[in-house]
Structures are given as structure tokens and as C-alpha cells.
Structure 1
């Protein structure tokens, strides 16, 4: 597809209004974080807090005279009509759901930044030929129902609606039931008609832009991501009376996996592999009892699909051997999520880069280490992302997550003028 891009009309982002919206949304789900002494945000998908945040954002969309629709997955769309309503729209967005220990910017900046672009277009009386649509996707984080980018993955056809509805959280609550409970099971058909282009602004969630002294970056794509849950079934025993050679220790097996994935990373055999065990649980969880069960998650990431496949195969082989290391140990691995590496549109990357340079922002091109809704949209339309610098080495999924008002405004200024070029 050829992407036409023309010089945008004058557009001025109201940075104070953008910052105020970010802080107002951040108040929903706010909590005092004991570990950092800061205010964090816990607004996980389809919770009461998520419903409250959704209603706030929809109210702002309607105030900006957008036509708001909600699809069968709870994805929210705000449409600003163009002078050619039948032209395929340009879309921008992200998500407002959070992890349990979040800051104010992850995902939210992409949604509220796009909203600020619309508000600024209204302020300036500017009209575009193509419609512009803001998307707020459901369950991007995947922390509650175990599958990240869920709303956009169903909207673009990678996952089915039935699959999503039947996912359950740790309390056994079904996604479909919770979606209906908070009032966001919409009637718009979930399968999305391909827009003309999709652009997502997002905090980097990494240290590169800060180290380079740059406010914005151009994202080349997203690396492959693999999530697995590994459940280890052992045998409970008294910690003092059971000889070591007679134990079937699920906790020991979990520790061996944690060490193994780090050894795989350090080996260099898998390119730029990253591996994380972010969840560990043992049962019965008592100091004097050998655990009869351990549950861990393994998060693998790699920009190279072939090397990712090799890492997954070698991990599977290790798990098979692990079951033989302790007679009676049973190892169960369940796939939680898997996405391949996704390159973004060279044409739209060039539009973003040129726009940033015209505004006086030096940029670099970099690959995203985190998953984003943009990688799902790239399957159906030319797609790109704009990264915005984070402070404190770009820490994210933590109350210390922070981007300055100036950097937020810079990134959204680039987003706004990119959208104007694409929608002209």
C-alpha cells in the first residue's frame, strides 16, 4: 500500500491539558506503594477501576465531539469525521489498563495523546480528508487473563472471540462475564476493517532515549515474545525427617529452571534473547514442608524468530530432562501467549522521522522490547510507533515510571503532525 503524506497545517498541542488528563486518569486505581513510597496505579483490565477509567475517557471523547462505539471485546473507538467519510480512516491509540504496580504513562499516553491531537484540531478549526479514529484497546497488559494484546489480537483476527471470552483470571472469573459485568460488552462487531494506517505513541519503557539525550524515537518493530506457565508437581514431605535422596522437591525444580533460562541468555547461542521468571508460587508454602507444587512463568523475548524457536526448543528439552532428575517429579508446561517478531512500515517510519526532524527533534530508530497493540495492527495495515523518553532509565510497570510534561508534549506533537500528514 502506498502511504501519501503531505505537509500538515499548523497544529499546537496544549501540553497543560494533556498533562492534566494523564493525572486525572492516574487518580483512578491509585494506591500508596510501600516498596517505593510513591503513588502507584492498579487499574487492571475489566476491574471496577478499569470501568471507571473507561467511562472517564469516553466522556472526554464525547466532549471532543467524537462518535464513540464499543465492540464485542470492549475495545473503545472515538471517530472524528473527515471531509471524505467513506475514505478509510487513520487510527491512533493504545490502552488504559495497567499492571498491578503501574505508573501513569504506559498505554495511557498513547490514548490521551491521541485525544489531545483531536482536541487541538478542534481548537484550530482544522479538518482532515480522512477520518481519524482513536482506539483504546482492552487487556493489552495480559496480567489478569494471561494473554497480552488481547483486544487488538481479536479485533485483527489472530485470536477468536470465543477464546477471549473463555479466558479466566486466577479467581476463576471469565473474561466474557467480567466484560459484561462492568458494562463494556459492546455491540459493534469485533473484526476490524483495515484502516489506512495506524500510529501508536508510547513511552519507551527502556533506557535508550534517555542515554542518547533524545525526547522521541522511531520504532522499527517489536521482537518475538513467548509466555509459558510451568507447573511442577512433586511430593510434600517433612523438611527435617525426609532424606534428600527421597524427596520430590517442586521448589528445587523451579529454581533449576530459573537458573537455566539465565544460562541460556548468557550463552550467546540465542542472539539477543531475554528471559524472565516473573511469577513464582509454591505449595503448601510452609517453611518446614518440602513443596509438592511450584508454579512459575517464563517470559522469553528475541528479535530473531529462528533463534527464539531454538530457545523454546532447548527449554522444552531441558524441562523433559528435569522430569527425569527427580523420580516422581511431573513437569507441565502451558502456553500463555506467543507472537512473532513484527517489522513496522518503512513508509510510515519515514513519515514519523521526517515529521520529528521538521519539528526540531533529533531521532533514532530502535526496536521495541515490549509488546504493543501496534504489532497486532501491523497484520492488517501499515503501522508505526513513536517512542517517548522515560526518566530513571525508562523504568516502567513501577510507580517510578515517569516522562516529563515536555517530553510527553514533544511525542504527541510528532504524533499529531504525523496523523495530519496521513489523513490529509
Structure 2
């Protein structure tokens, strides 16, 4: 493990903290206080050079060398801002800015720095670097909040290399066991825990164990609603009801030529049947906004001339209406049984997950909405349709999400885009909302 990157605060950091002037609480921020978008954009541009994927995009998968490089840069920025950095046992980075009363629970602000295999430059990244800009702006203003503020970079939000997604926030919230997370295997073979150690981010800080005062997550919308309506800020009021499935099929290898069809146990065919069924479920509910996603199918040996004896799938169904989502889930599980039976394969459900509904805190929603209005910004209430770390945090503390427009709704794609000017309103909404929460009596 490389010293100075993970684990407890370094000696020099403690010394720096001791030399800071006494902290004094400040009054509410005037509405003309604003983030430095040029400075923020420079961090986005630096991030865009680390883990470059297709033209204009990123491929910075969790716990790769590129992820390590981005983490190193982020930690350096945090230390330059005199933040106390710690890393927990699943690699999540926390950077703490002290408040005038450090005995109070902190306000968390964060998202993730890992990307999809064909990811964009903004998904997740805006939330982490936006939190950093928030802290830098407070330093510029000389404003110290009553409660501490902690920036959070969650590990493996995307689930692009280690499935399922959002395992670090899930572990923090108590939904996943630490040992289970550390034992996850990547498509390219290594274990989650081994890769954490290899890149130097196997921290020694316990996972969870504290309940934040609140959690804020700024994110691009990942949809076209705000952009089409020319809205500057999205106030996320609720989330689509989502049900996910991670499962293995087990079969038997055999020659693709002579082996009789009635004796075949082709795990690849079982996975394909299930995923096609899930796609059909989504199409059946598309008119009311429902979605069924065939997200992943891998198999072994997955070669010509031989049947595969193992396959793994990831799929999910989602709908804004809870009852319809539950019916879609029922059909998905029936399709799992049917696919196994039709192909004479066994199956093993490795993980299921569900999230969504009215999970966000009404007080925080009102705060964000009122803040956007006070700043004179065009804002709109809307649901979140994608999964986010905020979903797990909502299980343990008051949580809210703020959306910024996403050009044409394109995301998880190298053409994902939002301009510096388009990011400014949501960044300022985040700044003023977080300060109001952190300073309250």
C-alpha cells in the first residue's frame, strides 16, 4: 500500500489542521455568491484526460490503473484544500472539511469517479468534482459551516467491472456484507479486494458506522426532460421502482454438431432466453414508461463448436408505478424458471436488488426547490429513472438529488455532454442548499 494515499490522516495533515485559524460560523450565503465555474471546468477537463475511451468519452472502470490515477489526482486536490482524507475498506474516499462544531454529524456530498466502458465525461464526475468546487468556494468566501462537510467518492458505482453496481454505498448502508463485496470477481479475473490492494486504495477505515446529517448528490439527469424543457435545475422528488437480478446458469459442455437437441444443457441459450423475455416485458410496458433491460450476458467457454456450461446474466425491470413494477418483477422471475427448464439447466440467484419510490427526504426536496427559486433559476420536479448511490444513502439518512441538464439525454455514451454554462445553475443550487443544511441551528 502506498503511503499518503489511503488509511488514516497523515501526520503532516494533522499538523496542517492544527495550524488553521480558529473557525467562526458565518451568516447565510447571499444569493450572489457563486461557484467558480472556470475552476470547476478545469477539474472536469483534467478528469477527461484520465482513462480516455472513444472520442470525447471515458473508459475508467473501477479499480483499474486509470481509476487509481484519477483517485490520486482527486486526493491531491483534496489535500491542497486542507481536507482530511480517509479511505474505507471498500476503497471509498472521504474528504472532510471541519465545521465550527465537529461533534455534529457531517453533511455528505458526493457521487462517483468511475465510468462505464463507453462512458461520458460527466456521469458521476460532476457530483464529486462539484462537491470539491463547493468546498473551494467556501474557502474563497471564508465561510465555515456549523456542521462538517464531507466529499464522498463511492467505489464501483457503475458496476461495469464488478457486478452489481453501487456496492460501496450499499455496503456503507448495511445492505451488502463487506466480505461479499471484497470477494466479487471482475470479468478479467481479479477479486475486488485484491484490486483495491493492488492500486493502493484498500483503506483501513471501517465501512459505515456513522449516520450523516444528510446526503446530497448532484448528477446529470441522464434523460432528456430538463434539456427539452430548457430547465436549469432538476429537483428529484422520487425514483422509479426498480428490480434487478444477477444469476448464473449451469449446464454442460458438448459438441455442437452431433449432440442431440433434447440432451443439450446450453447455459448460453438459457441466459439468452431470459434476457429476451426481460426485453419483451419492457416493451409490453413501454407505453407507460416501463423498461426491461437485458444488461449483461457472459458465458464459458463461449466458443464455436462447443456448448457453454456456464452463463451469467444481469437484468432489471423498472416502472414509476409500484404495482406495475412488481408485476414486471414477477414476470422476470417466472422467465428465469422457464429459461432454466426449457434448456435443462440449473440456476443460482447471486443477488437481487430493488429500490425506488418516495425515498428522498421531503424537507431536503423543499430546500432544493426553494433554493433554486431564491436564486431565480428555472427548475422542475422530476423522478430519477437510473440507479444512484443516493438510493442506498436514503436508507440511513435524509437524502436528496439535484439534476443538471444533459444534452439530448445522451448518457453512458462518449457523446454525453453538458456545457460549463449549463452546469452553473445546479452547482450554485448545490452550494446554497448544502450550506443552508450544514448551518442550520
* TM-score normalised by length of structure 1: 0.88
Q: The residue matched to 1:297 in structure 2 has which SS?
A: strand
Paired with 1:261 and 1:270, the residues of 2 have a C-alpha distance of: 16
Deviates more, 1:165-174 or 1:361-370: 165-174
Q: The residue matched to 1:96 in structure 2 has which SS?
A: coil
Tell me, yes or no, if structure 1 residue 8 matches structure 2 residue 8: no
- Deviation for aligned residue 1:415: 0.3
**CA shift in 2, pair 1:306/1:82, >3 Å:** same
Matches within 5 A, 1:17-416: 17-31=39-53, 33=54, 38-223=55-240, 224-231=242-249, 233=251, 236-238=254-256, 252-268=269-285, 272-281=289-298, 284-286=301-303, 295-326=312-343, 329-342=344-357, 343-391=359-407, 393-416=408-431
Q: Is the 8 A contact 2:248 2:310 kept in 1?
A: no
The match for 2:13 is none
Aligned length: 410
**CA shift in 2, pair 1:293/1:157, >3 Å:** closer
Paired with 2:150 and 2:312, the residues of 1 have a C-alpha distance of: 41
- Deviation for aligned residue 1:399: 0.6
Gaps of 5+ in 1: 1-5
Paired with 1:270 and 1:291, the residues of 2 have a C-alpha distance of: 36
Q: Is the 8 A contact 1:111 1:136 kept in 2?
A: yes
Give CA deviations for 1:366-420 in whole Å, capped at 9, x if unaligned.
11111111111111211100001111x2211111111111111221111001111
**CA shift in 2, pair 1:192/1:367, >3 Å:** farther
Tell me, yes or no, if structure 1 residue 418 matches structure 2 residue 436: no
**CA shift in 2, pair 1:118/1:311, >3 Å:** same
- Deviation for aligned residue 1:302: 3.2
* TM-score normalised by length of structure 2: 0.85
**CA shift in 2, pair 1:319/1:17, >3 Å:** same
Q: Is the 8 A contact 2:282 2:317 kept in 1?
A: no
The match for 1:3 is none
- Deviation for aligned residue 1:109: 0.4
**CA shift in 2, pair 1:323/1:92, >3 Å:** closer
Paired with 1:209 and 1:405, the residues of 2 have a C-alpha distance of: 16
Q: Is the 8 A contact 2:124 2:219 kept in 1?
A: yes
Q: The residue matched to 1:365 in structure 2 has which SS?
A: strand
Give CA deviations for 1:126-167 in whole Å, capped at 9, x if unaligned.
221111111111111122221211111111222121111111
Q: Is the 8 A contact 1:81 1:131 kept in 2?
A: yes
**CA shift in 2, pair 1:109/1:44, >3 Å:** same
Paired with 1:39 and 1:246, the residues of 2 have a C-alpha distance of: 49
Paired with 1:130 and 1:207, the residues of 2 have a C-alpha distance of: 35
**CA shift in 2, pair 1:47/1:290, >3 Å:** closer
Higher-RCO chain (CA-CA 8 Å, sequence separation at least 6): 1
Paired with 1:147 and 1:139, the residues of 2 have a C-alpha distance of: 9
Q: Is the 8 A contact 1:204 1:394 kept in 2?
A: yes
